[in-house]
């Protein structure tokens, strides 16, 4: 049941293990009919409202914000709609000019985060159409939005968000497809093709979970560090941010994330043998760029832990201390799949350090005060 750990040691671990089902369940909620027929996406509640959106603002906090960052990459590249992304505490006080045909999208697991709610009210006052992606459907944000997209992740108890992130990505993919469709960038056939790339996502996530012992070994090698650096390029950058957030939240190791290309503009000064660098880099068209960043930090003695596929790991084998291999997969699947080993890494580091994984110090599941 939702309020029991089902044999897992922590709610967080249980929720991590629910993810093979979570992503597909959310996607299926929005996909009417079968992959063969024309009524692929039954997005009745959003279809009339996404008409003529030429610019989108995405606002959230914490992990939900990083889901929004993944969506920025998707919406801009797949749907051709420019996306402004902001954390809620900044957005609510920023004097943003509202353009005609802009809409605002708020992402919140709880639907109660004070800053995100205030940002929603601010956008409403500006006359923007407000969408929200929430887990808790009877929440204040859900009540006050023009359009609510539930993520149906089930109750999330661990303070550090895991399965909600994965389910948010499913809902955000649906928004992406809807916008692409309305911009004439996607036929039903294209939609089928795109979604078919996700057919075996549950098996891929299961595969990662079944290799938890490998992640645990990596966790052992970094659990005594006081600092860690995460890096990624392109759509792997928000994943690096989320990986660093997860690690700091529950293990209390100081962790920060950088776009791989920014490394030489500061963080490279911190690199030494005591600084593990966790790199998220599936071997896509940006891989060679990340590889040259790895070369730079490796020559300065960095301990690199690389999450990539066989091809990526082969190319980097001379510079890395440890690798974690994920299977080859379509690009669309990468943000979802590559996040899982990082959740596990944070989890195992925290358990090795003996912290309170489900209730980390000073943090709240939902921050309802400003």
Helix axes 201-210, 334-353, angle to 10 degrees: 20
DSSP state of 101: T
**Tokens standing for residue 152:** 């149906």
* Part of the chain binding ligand G6P (CB under 6 A), chosen from 93-101, 147-155, 156-164, 175-183: 156-164
Least distance to ligand G6P, CB of residue 159, Å: 5
Least distance to ligand G6P, CB of residue 81, Å: 23
**Tokens standing for residue 47:** 């279809």
- Angstrom CA distances, 109 to 4, 119, 135, stand at 20, 15, 5
Please report whether residue 19 would count as binding ligand G6P according to CB under 6 A.
no
Least distance to ligand G6P, CB of residue 240, Å: 16
Is 365 one of the catalytic residues? Answer: yes
Please report whether residue 137 would count as binding ligand G6P according to CB under 6 A.
no
Q: How many residues bind ligand G6P (CB under 6 A)?
A: 16
Q: Which is nearer to ligand G6P, 235 or 250 (CB)?
A: 250
Q: Which is nearer to ligand G6P, 191 or 249 (CB)?
A: 249
Please report whether residue 108 would count as binding ligand G6P according to CB under 6 A.
yes
Q: Which is nearer to ligand G6P, 21 or 366 (CB)?
A: 366
Rg (CA), the chain: 20
Cα(108)–Cα(63) distance, integer angstroms: 9
Cα(260)–Cα(277) distance, integer angstroms: 11
b/e per residue 235-254 (b: at least 16 CB within 10 A)? bbbbbbbbbbbbbbbbbbbe
- Point out the catalytic residue in the list 5, 216, 248, 365: 365
Which residue's C-beta sits nearest to ligand G6P?
Answer: 62
Please report whether residue 54 would count as binding ligand G6P according to CB under 6 A.
no
* Part of the chain binding ligand G6P (CB under 6 A), chosen from 71-79, 105-113, 206-214, 216-224: 105-113
Cα(248)–Cα(229) distance, integer angstroms: 11
Please report whether residue 26 would count as binding ligand G6P according to CB under 6 A.
no
| 347-366 binders of ligand G6P (CB under 6 A) | 363, 365-366
* Pairing assessment for the beta strands 276-280 and 227-232 based on DSSP bridges: parallel
Please report whether residue 166 would count as binding ligand G6P according to CB under 6 A.
no
Least distance to ligand G6P, CB of residue 116, Å: 5
The H or E element that residue 351 is part of is: helix 334-353
**Tokens standing for residue 206:** 């299961």
Of these, 26, 50, 63, 140, which contacts ligand G6P (CB under 6 A)?
63
Residue 260: which of 274, 245, 252, 238 has the closest Cα? Answer: 238
**Nearest 10 degrees: Cα torsion 233, 300, 319, 234:** 0
Q: Which is nearer to ligand G6P, 167 or 198 (CB)?
A: 167
Of these, 89, 102, 116, 212, which contacts ligand G6P (CB under 6 A)?
116
Yes or no: say if 248 and 254 are a contact pair by the CB < 8 Å rule: yes
Of these, 161, 178, 251, 343, which contacts ligand G6P (CB under 6 A)?
161
Strand partners, 104: 57, 130
Please report whether residue 176 would count as binding ligand G6P according to CB under 6 A.
no
Yes or no: say if 331 and 348 are a contact pair by the CB < 8 Å rule: no
The residues binding ligand G6P (CB under 6 A) are 61-64, 108-110, 113, 116, 159-161, 363, 365-367
What positions carry a catalytic annotation? 365
């Amino acid at each position: 049941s939702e309020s029991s750990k089902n044999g897992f040691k922590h709610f967080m671990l249980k929720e991590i293990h629910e993810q093979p089902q979570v992503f597909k369940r959310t996607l299926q909620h929005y996909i009417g009919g079968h992959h063969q027929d024309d009524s692929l996406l039954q997005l009745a509640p959003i279809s009339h409202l996404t008409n003529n959106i030429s610019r989108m603002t995405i606002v959230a906090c914490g992990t939900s914000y990083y889901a929004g960052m993944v969506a920025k990459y998707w919406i801009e590249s797949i749907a051709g709609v420019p996306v402004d992304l902001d954390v809620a505490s900044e957005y609510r006080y920023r004097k943003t000019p509202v353009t005609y045909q802009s809409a605002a999208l708020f992402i919140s697991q709880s639907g109660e985060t004070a800053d995100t709610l205030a940002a929603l009210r601010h956008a409403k006052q500006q006359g923007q159409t407000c969408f929200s992606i929430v887990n808790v459907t009877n929440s204040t944000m859900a009540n006050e939005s023009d359009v609510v997209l539930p993520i149906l992740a089930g109750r999330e108890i661990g303070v550090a968000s895991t399965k909600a992130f994965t389910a948010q990505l499913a809902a955000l993919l649906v928004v992406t497809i809807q916008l692409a469709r309305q911009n004439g960038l996607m036929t039903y056939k294209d939609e089928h093709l795109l979604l078919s790339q996700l057919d075996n996502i549950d098996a891929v996530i299961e595969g990662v979970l079944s290799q938890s012992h490998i992640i645990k070994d990596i966790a052992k090698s970094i659990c005594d560090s006081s600092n860690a650096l995460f890096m990624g390029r392109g759509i792997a950058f928000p994943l690096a941010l989320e990986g660093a957030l997860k690690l700091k939240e529950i293990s209390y190791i100081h962790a920060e994330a950088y776009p791989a290309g920014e490394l030489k503009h500061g963080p490279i000064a911190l690199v030494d043998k005591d600084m593990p660098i966790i790199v998220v880099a599936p071997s896509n068209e940006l891989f060679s760029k990340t590889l040259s960043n790895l070369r730079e930090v490796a020559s300065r003695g960095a301990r690199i832990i690389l999450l990539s596929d066989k091809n990526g790991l082969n190319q980097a084998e001379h510079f890395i201390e440890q690798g974690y291999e994920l299977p080859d997969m379509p690009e669309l699947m990468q943000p979802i799949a590559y996040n899982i080993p990082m959740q596990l890494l944070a989890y195992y580091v925290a358990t090795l350090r003996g912290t309170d994984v489900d209730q980390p110090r000073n943090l709240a599941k939902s921050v309802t005060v400003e």
